[in-house]
Structure 1
Amino acid sequence: MNVPRRCCRPGCPHYAVATLTFVYSDSTAVIGPLATAREPHSWDLCVGHAGRITAPRGWELVRHAGPLPSHPDEDDLVALADAVREGGPSAGRRHHPGGNGAPLHGFDDFPAAATGAPTGGGVLAPPEPGAGRRRGHLRVLPDPAD
């Protein structure tokens, strides 16, 4: 799936339309059309940052001759919309095996009712972005000497 990428500059909410790469052997920075795949040691930039960026001292900056698009391809946006539809609202939820069918989120082992957590009546804050994702990939392992 081809998901639109965001500008790599911190805090920039815009979609990337250009890729910045460095040719170290020639001391050249190259700004060209957005690469088809994310590459290591290359940076995706929005149209604003691609137009304002400068090369380091002693380096040459080469810009793409044609105009850069102001937004990602419509095909990319359609692919993103399809992916969101496929995921649906229950994507990432698990059900406790043998339980009452209450959904589990992240690393929870038991439904909220089994843990004594309040199940309703309170005001909840809106979920944080990425709240449905796993929080990490590292795990604590037992000491092999035990």
Structure 2
Amino acid sequence: MRALRRCCRPGCKNPAVATLTYVYSDSTAVVGPLATVDEPHSWDLCETHASRITAPKGWELVRYEGGFSSSTPDEDDLTALAEAVREAGMAERGSVDSATSGSADSTHTVVQAPRTGRRGHLRVLPDPTN
């Protein structure tokens, strides 16, 4: 029998329905469906705390847009979430690489697209300080 996982926030006794994971290399916080396994570097959250959580200053927050349920997440949802984080990190690295690859006397300008939008059923939230 599987034990019911609880929200990790102090004083909260509600059942966990979402998992918060930080991707330090991309400065991204990801709130997605409850992970199938309790990981040591992720935090389980109840519905209330999952909907209210914010990312640290200067970080982006990727939040699962569908409703959370207490059932195990679909493998497609987890794959889509991982792909969204990977694509966001690769897009950022590509713009940095192209900006640094030019010579000092070149006059090209790198224009970055806004970092908001939809990726299937996921939504990338902009940093509120920009």
* Normalised-by-shorter TM-score class: 0.5 to 0.7
Partners of 1:38 and 1:49 lie apart in 2 by 17
Q: Does 1:39 align with 2:53?
A: no
Counterparts of 1:50 and 1:65, CA distance in 2: 11
**Structure whose residues are more often helix by fraction:** 2
Q: Which has the higher contact order (CA 8 A, sep 6+)?
A: 2
Q: Percentage identity across aligned positions?
A: 70
Give the equivalent residue in structure 2 for 1:18. 18
For 2:60, the aligned partner's letter is: E
Question: Following superposition, which runs of at least 4 residues in structure 1 exceed 6 angstroms of deviation?
Answer: none
What does residue range 21-100 of structure 1 map to in structure 2 within 5 Å?
A: 21-69=21-69, 72-73=70-71
| Deviation of 1:65 (Å) | 2.4
Question: Is the strand fraction higher in 1 or 2?
Answer: 2
Letter in 2 for 1:38: D
Query: TM-score when scaled to structure 2?
Result: 0.53
What does the per-residue CA deviation read over 1:17-65, in whole Å, with 9 as the maximum and x for residues that have no partner? Answer: 0000000000000000000110011000000000001000000000012
Give the secondary structure class of the aligned counterpart of 1:25.
helix
Aligned partner of 2:3 in structure 1 is: 3
Question: Aligned pairs, how many?
Answer: 71
| Aligned Cα root-mean-square deviation (Å) | 0.9
> SS of the counterpart of 2:31?
strand
Q: Match for residue 126 of structure 1? A: none
Distance 2:2 2:26 in 1: 32
Where does the alignment leave 5 or more consecutive residues of structure 2 unmatched?
72-130
Report how far residue 66 of structure 1 moved. 1.5
Query: How far is the alpha carbon of 1:67 from its aligned partner?
Result: 1.3
- Give the match's secondary structure for 1:50: helix
What runs of 5+ residues in structure 1 fail to find an aligned partner? 74-146
1-structure distance, mates of 2:21, 2:4? 19
TM-score (norm 1): 0.47
Q: Which structure is larger by alpha-carbon Rg, 1 or 2?
A: 1
